[in-house]
Chain A
């Protein structure tokens, strides 16, 4: 009797231990940041809206300061999926040996919508890009995603980005202040700070990134290739929810405002000035990545010497990509 009990106990332990890895795989470690990831914010703050989330799989959310640290975390295997910019992801591939798939897209610059722009003061003598010669120009991240198209526009205007301007790093949150106080002569603006600055007046748009190319993809969702290959059904469920989250975000703006307000801890009134309006970034209705646009960006980065030539096909999984319905 005692032997039987021991055997039963060992069997139970063995069953438990064999089930443990399978259960452990049902959690995806996801990196995120702010702003502009509405589908993920919905999944975070309204999980009951997603039938699989919390039931067939779980998400361990970790917030990061920008996309570059998430690239490192992906490359080190500390994250399974994360928000990425085309440049940070490519840097991970080139410098960190990262292999990843782009599974969804968060925001891009739709024609007629918001495009990251460089602003000057209303009374500034700077009227064209060429007038930036010898001036101090702010950019959110030196070597970041916006610098490729920015460099290209400078070159088109006959300026050498390395010699003809003094480039300084100014975060989007403080760019308006830096410009008004004269610490920079021109600075790049992004939402929601652009809407706030425009409401106050006294600044004007000098040029915007869409002049370098349309449909610039700002942020997308990428997952480690080894993780996707090992857990295809799990990642499919995740991408299905990102697709659903994007649909919900676009279909119910009032609720999206509340969701985003909860995530950003910013008043709805502030977010309401731009979110999902004409002066906001574009969002694909089903979060589908625009691979041709990403390829064009990679080509610009290669042309401006920021990256070697890369083929976007390496980031494309044959089946696991939004939209997954």
Chain B
């Protein structure tokens, strides 16, 4: 019975959520809270409209660029901080200062510096992703056993080689946990970066619909963005498991559909 229920659990959870939403909407009779069915009905017109798809792809492109740039910056920095006390002492206060600031709140300022185009939005995504990845890379690198590094040094590895061949693989499970958080934050900042100024993007559809009071489209976009998050998370989880299959715990609490 358990074996049968396990794969169905996410589907049942979704159905339960949709049923609760449907009942709540019918009960509240509020124009700004459409029923689940109305919202689901609004999805196909969005996904079959060429312009809407171009908008969604434009957002995903910015998100991919911001995410890639963030990883290429945050992982080396986090590893260095984890293995160098002076690096950690220099960057930690700065990061602690920036960490709690909502990155989307920086958008108006960034917009004034870098204009209203893609660079500003990509920078907001970059900032959103960088911090958790730095933190997890830092923690991962810090936890590497000294004995392993001594062994590496004894075998003639340079500091750079030790970082690349010992610290990076050992910290990888923790780094990938940061990346997983980073994906979610990339998705959030991707949408919020389009809130104030936009030329294209998923936020374009969402916030236009909000301005026009088309709440079925608003909720349809929320579902689409949520589904994008689930798909990205599932895809990342496949990659993560493949990369760190050696470190998998025996029992893992499922946090996503993957």
Contacts and interface: CB of A to CB of B under 8 A. Distances in A.
B110 to A, nearest CB: 10
Nearest to B205: A265
Interface of A: 29, 31, 34-35, 60-65, 69, 72-73, 76, 78-79, 172-174, 176-177, 181, 192-193, 196, 264-266
B212 A65 contact: no
Contact of A63 (B30, B31, B198): B198
Contact of A176 (B31, B111, B196): B31
B112 A63 contact: no
A279 B52 CA distance: 31
Nearest to B113: A76
Contacts of A78: 111-112, 115-116
Interface residues of B, number: 26
B197 A73 contact: yes
Nearest to A173: B213
B22 interface: no
A211 B122 CA distance: 47
Given A69-B108, A265-B217, A61 B199 contact: yes
Output the residue of B30, B195, B210, B211 with the most chain A CB within 10 A: B211
Contact of A177 (B30, B115, B205): B30
Output the residue of A64, A78, A79, A192 with the most chain B CB within 10 A: A78
A120 to B, nearest CB: 18
Contact of A69 (B115, B197, B213): B197
Interface in B185-236: 195-199, 204-205, 207-214, 217
A176 B214 CA distance: 13
A174 B204 contact: no
A78 B119 CA distance: 12
Contacts of B217: 265
Given A62-B198, A69-B197, A177-B31, 5 more contacts: A62-B117, A72-B112, A78-B116, A173-B210, A265-B212
Given A72-B108, A79-B116, A176-B31, A62 B212 contact: no
A20 to B, nearest CB: 18
B84 interface: no
Contacts of B196: 64-65, 69
A10 to B, nearest CB: 31
B31 A65 contact: no
A266 B210 CA distance: 11
A266 B112 contact: no
- Nearest 8 interchain pairs by C-beta: A173-B213, A76-B112, A62-B116, A78-B115, A177-B32, A69-B196, A177-B31, A63-B198
Output the residue of B30, B108, B116, B207 with the most chain A CB within 10 A: B116
Nearest to A262: B51
B207 A65 contact: yes
B197 A63 contact: yes
B116 A34 contact: no
A181 B209 contact: no
Contact of B211 (A65, A76, A196): A65
Nearest to B208: A265
A266 B113 CA distance: 34
B212 A34 contact: yes
A85 B207 CA distance: 20
Nearest to B30: A177
A196 to B, nearest CB: 8
Contacts of B211: 34-35, 65, 173
Given A62-B116, A62-B197, A62-B199, A174 B111 contact: no
A69 B109 CA distance: 11
A34 B198 CA distance: 13
Interface string B92-120: 00000000000000001001110111000
Contacts of A266: 212, 214
A73 B112 contact: yes
